[in-house]
Structure 1
Amino acid sequence: MSWPVGTQCVAKKNHKKPKCGELLYYKGDLTEGIYLAKHNSTGEEGFINATEVRERKAIQVNSSLSLMPWFHGRITGSEAVRKLQPPEDGLFLVRESIRHPGDYVLCVSVSAKVVHYHVIYQDNKLTIDNNLFFYNLIDMVEFYSQNQGFIATRLLKPKTKTGTKSAELKLSKTGWLLDINKLTVRERIGEGEFGAVYVGDYMGQKVAVKIIKCDVTAQAFLRETMVMTKLQHKNLVRLLGVILDKGLHIVTEIMEKVLHLKVLQSRGRSVVSVGQLLQFALDVCEGMEYLESLKLVHRDLAARNVLVSDNNVAKVSDFGLTKVHSKTPDNAKLPIKWTAPEALIKQNFSTKSDVWSYGILLWEIFSYGRQPYPTMNVTEVKKMVEDGYRMEAPEGCPAELYSVMRVCWEQNPRRRPSFHKLRHKLEEEISKNNTSPAASMRGAQ
């Protein structure tokens, strides 16, 4: 094998009776390293048979990958019949209902005919028979693929829409699809606009689970998971895998604290020193420098998207808006108070627009978690910033750090520093504070 040190691998079969020095693992388990490997869940180390594992590869961001390749959108019943030819029992597709806007139609081939089942959307759930209700189309198709229920035959073969590919198949082949039966979901720890986040347990490992039940939103968040498969850095929240069951489950390493709420606002100046704030800032900068090296733009860098581990390491999360350097517009809802002027006005996103956001994040950190532009609404912020307004330094903020914020907020993106240069500047400031990056903050609990 020529895989580099630290390669993540997926077990292809069970190894339940290890000999002395060998690692115990089961099919689907993750290991890190070849030959002498570390189990990602148990932390145990031992030798493995390299022929019994396969490399876990990153997934390229691909708009053709779909969680619902059998969904054909707004087509007529006669078009659906044409697509389901030649006849084959269990061949199916789902389309939008033209006669009943907001509803769907499940079209199934059986006994050389196509049966159209009206899928009613009511009370935020879907039903065919007013007996069984589903959170989304993914949930419904999964059920009728395993159970005949009310319909004439089980759903045996999806008719894929032209130009789409199965995301589930891709996730499975690359080793990122996890087993729902090995996941235990526990208490809820957060809830956002798109879904809830829970503490969970996956094969003995404590994890965070983001559950997205809306199928359209789940498809949008598929992009986030594809981006995360290629990210391996100590200051980025690590993706463990994805589960497709009653929606999309994104399983990541557990991070107990949110930077601006749980650490800064609750503990404040009396507990968190300037040196500790500097280390938080450096952690984020190093994670962003890594994204910079991959030519990836985060587009939603803010304190709310920075999480803190038990040993007080800050890590960047929420890669749902991440994309490569691009001037191509999209319909993403942008966080105006954190977004650079050229990105708001012309949709010009780059590492330098992330640097602007990083300047806002620094203001959040050194104001101990205050909301940026505290007296303005988003409309006022957009106009004032375009006219050259910049926030004043937070109370007690060192002048050197405020100067870093100001250079991040240069109107001309080319005059803003890279994250590489920002990292060196922060390391200098930590040195001036006589603060050890390894000890100053890591021991603060």
Structure 2
Amino acid sequence: ASRKQQRTSWLFDCPSSAQMNWAAGVQCVAKCDNRKPKPGELLYHKGDVLTIVDASMRKCFYTARHNTTGAEGLINSSNLREREALRVDPSLSLMPWFHGKISGPEAVSKLQPAEDGLFLVRESIRHPGDYVLCVSFSGEVIHYRVIYQNNKLTINLKQYFYNLIDMIEFYSRCKESIVTTLTKPKKKQGTKSAELELSKTGWLLDITKLTLGEQIGEGEFGAVYRGEYMGQKVAVKIIKCDVTAQSFLQETTVMTKLQHKNLVRLLGVILHKGLHIITELMTKGNLGNFLRTRGRSVINSVQLLHFALNVCEGMEYLESKKLVHRDLAARNVLVSDDSVAKVSDFGLTKVDSKEPDKAKLPVKWTAPESLKKEKFSTKSDVWSYGILLWEIFTYGRQPYPKMSLKEVKEKVEEGYRMESPESCPPNVYSLMRLCWEQDPRRRPGFSKLREKLEQEMRFRSEARS
């Protein structure tokens, strides 16, 4: 009888709202636990993220893969909701309780009606560079000066913090040297809590499930570590500076929208002592270093074409989403364990925009019109892709060797173009030259570049066989 019940349990009608038509690749968040799965079902907990692999023959069921354990099994769609992409929203804030430069009396009026644990942080007017933590307790507002000392913050000269996020997190758990724990942030008008939005949409991960390993990289904005999240190997970018973390929220927001085999996949975000951006681990590092350390004796022209095609497909996907990368270079392409190249570092990525932008530009990779007028488009990404092709076929050499940035700017504007790398297939060099057309309108799109590279790949593969 029990076996019969098991068989018929698969056939129960699901609520009409759960009759989704999810395609393979759609990411979902579990709304409840499935701790005791039936044979063939997937074990998961509330908040876990699962990727649809295929529709099942059984009504309301799909085959799915657990994003952290990698296990596959059947899931009931009524227990899941689709993982939402975050909207690019300037009001989204990692510090909604930060009110900037306001006076003490203004802070007191904002913390009304008085409520124990209600708080905000403001810039100190009396002590420029310092902050003030304002906390409501027993009908009063207490002001704690937050001293900025040796690149850290402190209230009592005993407990030091990397940043305001770190400090608020600490005093929300224990009161230590302040009158009460911080329980209720007073949001600045017009801001939304990034923590709340990340949590609601399924992108906020749990710090207790993350194990940090060795440091594998360091950039201008923070360090990158190897790590493990619930059994999955991950890369963790840690940004400790408040202002930088806030700007990197843009990168995270963009990454939640993107799912492609040739883009580094975002797994989620942790808010702990700043911002942790958790992505899949690309074990072979960036493409430039990968090529330099192996060279011609290890990597042949078909493998170079394979990398060029990987990047082109990732960029074609970005182009289809009307997104401009703006910093495409071999250093921002990572190589996976199975030698697949994936585009990363979406820090500068924006919706296709003709608006000027004051970000620091990588001169040797940037199109002339972008250097001159600070205007970016998919066609300026195509120019950068041409430089990336040159990097690939020189096995990771620095573009415009022995030329200063000033010379590069002037000479490129006058029509100078780099010569073909040694042993580079003529058709590939022709593509580079097309990418470097002075008039952006004459440059091909990424779909046309992909077609040309596929033709070259077929030709090379047939010649070798």
Query: Do both share a fold (TM > 0.5)?
Result: yes
Q: Does the alignment pair 1:11 with 2:30?
A: yes
Counterparts of 1:35 and 1:260 in 2: how far apart (Å)?
36
Counterparts of 2:97 and 2:356 in 1: how far apart (Å)?
28
Counterparts of 1:174 and 1:269 in 2: how far apart (Å)?
46
Deviates more, 1:366-375 or 1:109-118: 109-118
Aligned equivalent of 2:11: none
Amino acid at match of 1:4: W
Q: Deviations over 1:255-306 (max 9, x none)?
A: 0123444421111111111111111000000000000000000011000000
Aligned equivalent of 1:119: 146
Q: Does the alignment pair 1:30 with 2:49?
A: yes
CA contact (8 A) 1:260 1:368 kept: no
1:192-271 equivalent positions in 2, closer than 5 A: 192-271=219-298
Report the alpha carbon displacement of residue 3 of structure 1 after superposing the two structures with TM.
Answer: 3.9
Alignment equivalent of 2:119, drawn from 88, 92, 97:
92
Q: Deviations over 1:139-189 (max 9, x none)?
A: 101111111111112111111112110011000000000011111111111
Counterparts of 2:315 and 2:153 in 1: how far apart (Å)?
41
Aligned equivalent of 2:86: 59
Where does structure 1 lack aligned partners over 5 or more consecutive residues?
A: 441-445
CA contact (8 A) 2:288 2:391 kept: no
Report the alpha carbon displacement of residue 46 of structure 1 after superposing the two structures with TM.
Answer: 1.6
Instruction: Kindly name which structure, 1 or 2, has the bigger radius of gyration based on alpha carbons.
Output: 2
CA contact (8 A) 2:289 2:396 kept: no
Report the alpha carbon displacement of residue 192 of structure 1 after superposing the two structures with TM.
Answer: 0.9
1:44-55 equivalent positions in 2, closer than 5 A: 44-55=71-82
Q: Structure 1 length normalisation: TM-score?
A: 0.95
Counterparts of 1:35 and 1:173 in 2: how far apart (Å)?
23
Aligned equivalent of 1:340: 367
Report the alpha carbon displacement of residue 435 of structure 1 after superposing the two structures with TM.
Answer: 5.6
Report the alpha carbon displacement of residue 205 of structure 1 after superposing the two structures with TM.
Answer: 0.8
Aligned equivalent of 1:136: 163
1:372-411 equivalent positions in 2, closer than 5 A: 372-411=399-438
CA contact (8 A) 1:297 1:354 kept: yes
Amino acid at match of 2:47: G
Q: Deviations over 1:220-262 (max 9, x none)?
A: 1111111000111000000000000111111111101234444
% identity of equivalent residues: 71
Amino acid at match of 2:175: Q
RMSD of aligned residue pairs (Cα, Å): 1.6
2:293 partner SS: helix
Aligned equivalent of 2:313: 286
Alignment equivalent of 1:322, drawn from 325, 339, 349:
349
Where does structure 2 lack aligned partners over 5 or more consecutive residues?
A: 1-18, 53-60
Amino acid at match of 2:426: A
Report the alpha carbon displacement of residue 129 of structure 1 after superposing the two structures with TM.
Answer: 0.3
Alignment equivalent of 2:39, drawn from 7, 13, 20:
20
Deviates more, 1:350-359 or 1:15-24: 15-24
Q: Deviations over 1:20-65 (max 9, x none)?
A: 1111112222111253222122222222232322211111111110
Where does structure 1 differ by over 4 angstroms across 4 or more consecutive aligned residues? none
Alignment equivalent of 1:422, drawn from 429, 437, 449:
449
Q: Does the alignment pair 1:2 with 2:20?
A: yes
Counterparts of 1:68 and 1:332 in 2: how far apart (Å)?
23
1:368 partner SS: coil
Aligned equivalent of 2:13: none
Counterparts of 1:92 and 1:345 in 2: how far apart (Å)?
47
Deviates more, 1:177-186 or 1:384-393: 384-393
Amino acid at match of 1:321: L
CA contact (8 A) 1:76 1:98 kept: yes
Amino acid at match of 2:235: A
CA contact (8 A) 1:260 1:364 kept: no
Q: Does the alignment pair 1:295 with 2:322?
A: yes
Alignment equivalent of 2:108, drawn from 78, 81, 99:
81
CA contact (8 A) 2:144 2:155 kept: yes
Q: Does the alignment pair 1:41 with 2:68?
A: yes
Aligned equivalent of 1:443: none
Task: Figure out how many residues of one structure are paired with residues of the other and give that number.
Answer: 438
Aligned equivalent of 2:55: none
Counterparts of 2:137 and 2:129 in 1: how far apart (Å)?
26
